[in-house]
Amino acid sequence: MMSNLERLVYMANQIARNFAATGDEAAARATADHIMAFWDPRMRAQLVDRLAAAPESLEPPARQAATILRDRGDRGRATSVRDDF
């Protein structure tokens, strides 16, 4: 059975894979947007913490999405991180 943290990593990687056809950079932005829109702030914080503790557990686009979320700071509201809006 997966821990909650393992499940979050799994979901982030799965979301990133769903956007993979758009290319790594676009997939990372779309993954970050999805996580901001649909994940609870505590879940986002755990993902960012995982990025610091075990970045290799995240696939490259999911790792970049977590980096985007970390760099913009978690304000607890759903806003787009994509720069084409």
Checking if the pLDDT of 85 tops 50, the result is: no
pTM to 2 decimal places: 0.84
Whole-number pLDDT of residue 68: 97
Element (H, E) at 34: helix 24-38
Tell me the C-alpha distance between 80 and 32, whole Å.
Answer: 8
pLDDT band at 83 (very low <50, low <70, confident <90, very high): very low
Angstrom distances, CA of residue 28 to CA of 2, 34, 63: 24, 10, 8
Owner of token pair 């956007």? 19
pLDDT tens-place string over residues 33-71:
999 999 999 999 999 999 999 999 999 999 999 999 999
pLDDT tens-place string over residues 4-28:
999 999 999 999 999 999 999 999 9
CA 27 to chain centre: 10
